[in-house]
Structures are given as structure tokens and as C-alpha cells.
Structure 1
């Protein structure tokens, strides 16, 4: 194989590499990015919010009067994990939530507990359901001494839960509330920096209007067979209501909430959350009489730092496959195509020079032919003087 053929093969290989890189860049920026921008299957986080509020004292159930304490320290904890079914298209999140009085020990301080399970689309973060999976469930409350497996109660979810979609937009999204058991709008409020990360802020009102006024509270849906926590009948004296002390009065439990979410718009991760929850007993929905818990909590600094780090990791993963690699492949691909074309041009000229050096006179310095000298071709030709013809005598016969 001569030098020209080798150059031509190399040129074709380099151009093929360039074309392949351009195709790969196109696929990465379209098809592959859609496969990468999905909710991870390895979510495992503990989210903690701290605050204070007015709270019922559970021990007072055995006293003559219900006791409600003001200005008590509270902590809301959410444990997020992944359960089955989870695959390339959907992921099932199980979130165990507890609200505790931190001034009480163990179960004496437990005010609220809920285990919520939802299956969501990994791309849109919206709840999905099928014949075998209703899209969500809540766990039936159990006594501490109960050693039986937990029982799930089917609760179809809709809208978003616990996450926003990738490429979150500046608009209103429906966000599901597992306590109210239906979705409520979360409205875009603006941009805000959270630990160096630009986030979108969304606000949600459940039972409140935009000014924070109680307008349409939700009647609490009990998960117990006897509805013991949604309707309570007790003497007026225990309720602390004026009148006959022994009069039996039945009150219903109502619920309302306000939430603010700070969302990373690239990954849809909620990096920070503030929540105001209000549970109370009343005979009329808009006339609260006895507070069960009225609290305001916000994500603590450790949770915010952890969620910001998670959002940045997901951002980097999407950027690597959706922007960095495609740009790199395009740049290398274009350089390879140009370099291959130039090398191919040189190979053709080299082949011409080998066939006939005279066809490539302009490139003698590149294709050196001094090593192929032909002695005869460079020998000087001696010129012989021409003999002058002599005149014949006129009388000499020819």
C-alpha cells in the first residue's frame, strides 16, 4: 500500500468519525435527553421542617378538660423512599409524614401521622394509575402494639405530588394534598435565590383565600373504621364551652393549609418548603371552636442544603447529556470533517504526483522527487557545428 492510498483511507476514517459524532450530538440533544430527564429511582431523603404553633395535648384526653397549649415547638418530618412498581416510565414514592411536639417524649408528642404512596410519571411527575395500581394509597393507622402488616387504603391521586416536572414553567400547577384527598392549584409567584440556586416560588391555598382568610375548610376524612378522629362527642365541660357541663356536644374536625414551594426549575426538585396547617373542631365549618393544631414550619438549613445538592446533581446529569456532550461532539465532529476533507485532498495530489511528477509541479517541495533522478534525463546535449556545404564546380557532373 503506497502513501497516497494510506492517506485516503485515513481521510475517510476521520470524516466518518466526524459524521458519527454529529449524529450522536443530534441524538443526545433530542432522544437521549428525554431519557435522562427523569425522576431518579434511588430517591431516599429525610426532610425536616421546624417551627412552632398551638397544639392539643394528647394526655388531656383522660382529663376533665381538653388542654390546648400555645407557642409549643413543632417538627414536621417527611421520609421519602422508592417502592414498587418502579421502572423506566414510572416511580412509586412512599412518604411517611409525622408532626410532633418536640417538648414531649415519644408518642406523647405525636400529633399527626400519615403514610402516603403515589405512583408518578418519571418525566412529568404527574400521578398515574392503572387497573392494578390506583395511582396512590394511604396507610391505615395502627396502634403501637399492633404487629400486623400495615393495611393500605386506595386513594387515587391526581396532579403533582412531592415533586414538580423537569423544566418547570412559570405557571399554575395542580398539587395533590393527601389530607384533603384532592388537588389544589399551586400558583407561580416569582423567582428567588436559595443557597445560590435560582428557584421558582409557588404558593398553594387549601381552604384559605389569597389573603389568608379561612373561606372553605376541608372536612377531615378519617382513616379509622369508626371515624373517631373526624367526629368527637364529649361533654361541654371537656370542650370548654359555656352551658350545661354534662351536655353532650358533637364536633367535626376541619382542615386548612397554606404552602409555599421553592422549586429548582431544571429538575423539579422542591428545595425548600414552608407550611401553615390548621386542624380544628367546630360545629360550623367557618367557626373554629377547639384547636387541634395550628402550626407554621419551614425547612431547616440541613434539609435545604441537602435538597439544593440533589438538585445540582440532577442539573449536572441533564446538562452533561443534554448540552455539554452534544456541543463537544459537534465541535469535534466539525473539526474531523474539515480535517478529513483536507487530508483527502492531499492524498489525491500525492497520488497524482506519484503517477506523473509533472502534474504536480507546484507541490514539488511537498512531494520531493529528488530521490528519483534519471542520469540520462539530466545529461547535457552537445551541439555539433553544422558543416557549410561546398559549392560544386559548374563543369563537374552531378
Structure 2
């Protein structure tokens, strides 16, 4: 019975050591393979972000007047709605992003200044736009009139670089960020760290058509989404443009675009937690000589949207930390404890088994059950030592004692 218990201890020791090894292997897999699988853009992105600010903006009502009117210091709000579309799988995710800029001092269509629906397919790990034979990597939705009842159609627009997100483990370097209005990527340069609602974010700045000081240097010709380029080139009487000379002379002007952006990015998840945009749309006969402002606005993500983005970034941080750091450390500690405990228990069981099989295998001074008390052990009578008394010889007897 006792021998069976020793064998059971040995089996238990092997099981505990096996569990320890399994935990160490699990920790290694979690810190390498599994972490790479979970550090991906979620397939459940569904957000509405709001930015507000002021602008110098064209008054649509002046189209029916004698001269185009531009208003200064008008309140504007920008809204960005993001959802996931197909294809979306283990490797890529497609984001459809609807962006609008509206004057809040005017109602209905008169307040709408800019609108675009952009779609991009990106790598879920790197956030880089990807394309294939069936998917050019992105598209933009063709504008429709309010009375148009036909379903929306998209125009293929190959995207390059990053869009709407930065990669996981964002580095302090320059990234290429795609501008869907300019339809090409531009540098977003790292410019420091800042605290955003308790989260240390990396700050990136991007210039499209401006230099670092905000001077117009290389504006982009606006790419119209209408078949007739209705919003890219406008011909109107000189009087409407406010030009001197023959008031009836038709003058054609081209629309140009420039922008400045600042991104605050969570370095772990790549989430843009805050953003400031300055967009400048104007008409001119020469690119570097603006003559009529369509809209010149600056908006910043409002506090509610910032809180939402910070919370989203923190959720992704926690998920990555759980699988990439907390569980591997926990499994490693438990695995080591199990290995040491199993080894100790195995040694104990082996010594116990060896003593039960042959007590003599262990040294007399180091027996498993302790030293044997030789003085207290009973000795068989046949082996007991007897005292031998010396016998007297006859010659030693007294003379008067008879033999």
C-alpha cells in the first residue's frame, strides 16, 4: 500500500511538471504568435466623430445675387462617420468614411459646404491601403442631387499609404498619409508627444500645398467628382467675381485646394484620438494667387469625440496587454512554480520508493525515516550476549573444604 502511494506521488510529479512545461509553451506562443494575431484593426469599427471651429465661407445664397459673397468667422461643424464594408476578413478591413462640413448658421442645403464618401481597404496590421485585381484599394462615391433616386455609384480611387488610422506600435518617424481630396499621399511628420485626456499621444503634422509656416507653396488642383467638372472650374461674369473691367466678361476660374493637419495618435493601437484640420478651397486664375475663397476653415475634434477615441484606444491597449503581456507573464510564473514543485515532489517520491524497496540503499546516518535507535531496539534472545564468570580451579579451594 505504501509503495503504491510512492508511485502515485511520482505520477503526480510528472503531471505537475508537464503542466508547467505546457504553461511555458503557452506563454511563449502568446507573446509571439498570438499577439501578432490580435494586434489588428477591429472588424467592428462604427463611430461618428465631430469637429467644430470657424471658417471664412462662401454664401450659397449669393449665387442669385449681383456678386458672390464670402462671410467671415462663421461657425462650422465637421462630421466623420465610419463603418466597415466588404471585404473584411482576417487580413484586411474596408472602411467607408462619410465626411461633411456644414455651416451651422444656415439651414438645409444652404449650410452644406463639403461632402465626400471615401472607401478604403487596408491591411489590418499595418493600416496600409491594399489593392487587388478586383479591388483598387479604394473608391469615392459620386455626388448625387437631392432629387436623384438612383442608387449611389462609386469611382475607383486607388489609395496609397495610411488612411484614418496609424499602424500598431506607431513609431516616431514620418508616415505617408493619403488625402482623398488631393487623391495622393503626403508626409505626416512626427513632431513630439502630448497628453490627450491622460493618454500619451504621438503628434504628427501634415502639409498639403502649404509649407511648415502655413504659406501657400504648391496647392493641388481640385479633382471634381462630377462628369462636367462643375465644381472644379466655374465660369461667371466678371461682376459676380467682383473683378474690374467689363462686368459682363465671362471669367473662368479654377478651384484649388490646400490643407494642414495635426494628428494625435495612440502609439500602441494607432488610433487617432484627436485631430485638427485646416482646409483651404479657393478659386483663382493662377494657382498661387487666390481670388475668391470658397471655404477656409479650421476645426478640431470636440471633447466628446476625443473621450470616445481615447476610450476606444484604451480598450485596444487592454486587449493587447492582456494577451501580449499579462497572460504570458502569469503563465510563465505558474509554469516555473509547477516545474519546481514537480521536481521537488519527484525527488521526494523517488527517495520514498527506494527506501521502501531496500532500506539499505540509504546511508545509516541519512535514512529517509531517520536514524535507527540501536540501543532501544529489541535483540533476539539467541543473539544476546551472555556474561562469562571465571570458574575456580580445585587448587584454589580452602584446605578444610571437602572436594
Question: For this structure pair, what is the TM-score category when the shorter chain's length is used for normalisation?
Answer: over 0.9
Which whole-Å CA distance do the structure 2 matches of 1:24 and 1:378 have between them? 61
Q: Which secondary structure state, in structure 2, belongs to the residue aligned with residue 262 of structure 1?
A: strand
Between 1:86-95 and 1:380-389, the stretch displaced more is 380-389
User: Which residue of structure 2 aligns with residue 321 of structure 1?
Assistant: 323
User: Which residue of structure 1 aligns with residue 226 of structure 2?
Assistant: 224
After superposition, the C-alpha distances for 1:320-357 in whole angstroms (9 at most, x for unaligned) are: 11111111111111111111000000000110121133
User: Which residue of structure 1 aligns with residue 175 of structure 2?
Assistant: 173
User: Which residue of structure 1 aligns with residue 104 of structure 2?
Assistant: 102
1:92 and 2:97 are equivalent in the alignment: no
Q: TM-score normalized by structure 2?
A: 0.92
Q: Check whether the contact 2:14–2:346 (CA below 8 A) recurs between aligned residues.
A: yes
Q: TM-score normalized by structure 1?
A: 0.93
Deviation at 1:317, TM superposition (A): 0.6
User: Which residue of structure 2 aligns with residue 396 of structure 1?
Assistant: none
Which whole-Å CA distance do the structure 2 matches of 1:215 and 1:274 have between them? 20
- Please, which of 194, 197, 215 is the counterpart of residue 196 of structure 2? 194
1:182-331 alignment runs, 5 A limit: 182-331=184-333
1:125 and 2:135 are equivalent in the alignment: no
- Cα RMSD (Å) of the superposition? 2.1
1:29 and 2:31 are equivalent in the alignment: yes
Deviation at 1:312, TM superposition (A): 0.5
Equivalent pairs counted in the alignment come to 389
User: Which residue of structure 2 aligns with residue 159 of structure 1?
Assistant: 161
Q: 1:378 to 1:93 in 2, by over 3 A?
A: farther
Q: 1:389 to 1:61 in 2, by over 3 A?
A: same
User: Which residue of structure 1 aligns with residue 139 of structure 2?
Assistant: 137
Q: Which secondary structure state, in structure 1, belongs to the residue aligned with residue 218 of structure 2?
A: coil
- Please, which of 38, 41, 44 is the counterpart of residue 39 of structure 1? 41
After superposition, the C-alpha distances for 1:184-212 in whole angstroms (9 at most, x for unaligned) are: 00000001110000010000000001111
Which whole-Å CA distance do the structure 1 matches of 2:390 and 2:55 have between them? 135
- Please, which of 113, 125, 129 is the counterpart of residue 111 of structure 1? 113
Q: 1:323 to 1:388 in 2, by over 3 A?
A: same
Q: Check whether the contact 1:199–1:263 (CA below 8 A) recurs between aligned residues.
A: yes
Task: Give the unaligned 5+ runs of structure 1.
Answer: 394-398
User: Which residue of structure 1 aligns with residue 398 of structure 2?
Assistant: none
1:59 and 2:61 are equivalent in the alignment: yes
Deviation at 1:274, TM superposition (A): 0.3
Deviation at 1:241, TM superposition (A): 1.1
Q: Check whether the contact 1:85–1:92 (CA below 8 A) recurs between aligned residues.
A: yes
Q: Check whether the contact 1:357–1:369 (CA below 8 A) recurs between aligned residues.
A: no
Q: Check whether the contact 1:18–1:335 (CA below 8 A) recurs between aligned residues.
A: yes
Q: Which secondary structure state, in structure 1, belongs to the residue aligned with residue 31 of structure 2?
A: helix
User: Which residue of structure 1 aligns with residue 18 of structure 2?
Assistant: 16
Deviation at 1:383, TM superposition (A): 3.3
Which whole-Å CA distance do the structure 2 matches of 1:134 and 1:385 have between them? 113
Q: Which secondary structure state, in structure 1, belongs to the residue aligned with residue 248 of structure 2?
A: coil
Q: Check whether the contact 1:350–1:367 (CA below 8 A) recurs between aligned residues.
A: no
Q: Which secondary structure state, in structure 2, belongs to the residue aligned with residue 86 of structure 1?
A: coil
Task: Give the unaligned 5+ runs of structure 2.
Answer: 396-403
